[in-house]
Structure formats: structure tokens, C-alpha cells
Structure 1
Amino acid sequence: MASLTKPLRWQALRVADVSEELAILAELVPDDGWLTVPDIVERLGSDVPKVRRMIDERLLLGVRRGTPKVLQIPTLLVEPEPMVSLPGTLTVLFDAGFSDAEALRWLFTPDEALGCAPVEALRNNRIAPVRRRAQVLGY
């Protein structure tokens, strides 16, 4: 099982092994905390092309996981509605060189400076502090 006790030095934590990232994500987000594209379509009253476009445009973020591997998005990013603060935060993370799995890992890892996981801070409209923390990762 992957360890969550590693220091939060993201440059040092980057791993090429996607299975290790997925194992760490499994510790951060429980199995019932993920939605598939059809689940999101149902919950948002939308259609598959629109949800796929939201993912392509980085309005939502997910990873392929499970058996068989299917695209899944953490429930917290979708409910009660998609987070409007997510795309800008993801841009900062991707500009810092994060992969999708690494970005999700960062969003769900408790941050001492924020007092909670960045995704929780975003849900509580603490957008500026989260983005400041994300910007530091690029340096």
C-alpha cells in the first residue's frame, strides 16, 4: 500500500508509475467517492457528449481506474454541481507540470497551510489561498 506520510515536496513526489499514483488516490478518495461518465450524465441531467466535452475542456478531471479501467471523476468535483473554481486551479497545476493523477492527488491531499485538502478549501470558496499554494509548486 502506498504511503501518505511522505513529505509534501511535490517535485520529489512525482512518480512515473501511474499505478502508484492510483494507489495513493485510492487512499485519499474512497471507492464510493468516484463517478463514471454515465453517473455524471444522470446526476447533471446532461448527455454524454456534453460531459466528455467538460472533461476535454478541463472543467472536470478524472483518471482511468477500476477493473476494467474506466474514466472516473471524484464525486466532490461534481456535486452538488461542477466546481467553477476548478478549471483555473487545474491550469496552475498543469502549468507546473502535473499529470491528471498528480493534480487529483494534490487536490485531495490535506494541506497544513490550508487546514484541509485543497478540494475542500475550493468548495468553501477559498480559491485565492488554494491557487497561491498551487503556484508555489511550479517553483
Structure 2
Amino acid sequence: MTLSVAQIDRETDQLVDEWLTLPEVARRLDVTIGRAKQLLKDRKLLGVRRGSGGPQVPAVFLDGKEVMKGLPGTLTVLLDAGYGDVESMRWLFTPDDSLPGSPIEAIKAGRHTEVKRRAQALGF
């Protein structure tokens, strides 16, 4: 399976506190690396290329042995709004005074429906 992953820019890279490699994601979720790749391909997770290595995923996207509730739906809405991987990453991690915090912080706090509504508005 070929996995196409966008190269992240330095500014967006610095918005994320902790990154995980695919083997680390697989370990944390207790799945195979192949399944971790499939989660990226299916847009249940979002990964980007940092430097010359393989895809990396923000650690905050994982909640214990699960993908953070509300993240896959938000990623789908951002894709439907025309956002690419790097743009989606930037949007999720950029502070928004009206939330407060960033969209990813709001999702983590259980406010994923509100974040999805905001993401839908981006497409119109």
C-alpha cells in the first residue's frame, strides 16, 4: 500500500508539542503498523512528513488506546472543505480566540461538534 503524506512547513511543525512515528502510533493503539497506515489512509488520523523520515502524527490525536473522539469526523469535514493535510494540521493547532484555545484543544475537551460546525463553515 502506498501512502502519500504531505511535507509539513516549519511554522506548522512548531504548533505541535509532541510527534509520534507510525511504529509509536501502532504501539500506543496496540495495532500493527499496517493498521496505523490504514488509519492515515482512511483519514481517521492525520500524519505529515517532518524532514526526511516517515509520516508522523501529533501525540494529542491519541487518547489512550483510541483515536481521539471527534477527530476522524473533523478531518473528513476539513477534507470536504478543500483543506489539504498541512492546512488541516495548521487549522487544528492554531489558537482561535472564539473557542478559546485551538480547535484540537476544543476536540480534546469534548467540544468536537462545535469544532466540526466551524470546519463546515470553512467550505462555504
Q: TM tier, shorter chain?
A: 0.7 to 0.9
Match of 1:59 in 2: 44
Q: Which structure carries more relative contact order (alpha carbon 8 Å, separation 6+)?
A: 2
Aligned-partner SS, 1:91: helix
* CA deviations over 1:72-117 (Å, ceiling 9, x no partner): 0000002333113111111111111100011011000011111011
Match of 1:22 in 2: 9
TM-score by length of 2: 0.87
TM-score by length of 1: 0.78
Larger CA Rg, structure 1 vs 2: 1
Aligned-partner SS, 1:72: strand
Instruction: State the identity as a percent.
Output: 44
Gapped regions of structure 1 (runs ≥ 5): 1-17
After TM superposition, the runs of 4+ consecutive aligned structure 1 residues lying more than 6 A away are none
Aligned-partner SS, 1:35: strand
Match of 2:59 in 1: 75
- The size of the alignment, in residue pairs, is 118
What do you get for the CA RMSD once the two structures are aligned?
1.6
Flag the structure with higher helix content: 1
How do 1:100-111 and structure 2 match up within 5 A?
100-111=85-96
Gapped regions of structure 2 (runs ≥ 5): 1-5
Deviation of 1:138 after TM superposition, in Å, equals 1.1
Q: Is the 8 A contact 2:45 2:57 kept in 1?
A: yes
How do 1:59-138 and structure 2 match up within 5 A?
59-66=44-51, 68-80=52-64, 81-138=66-123
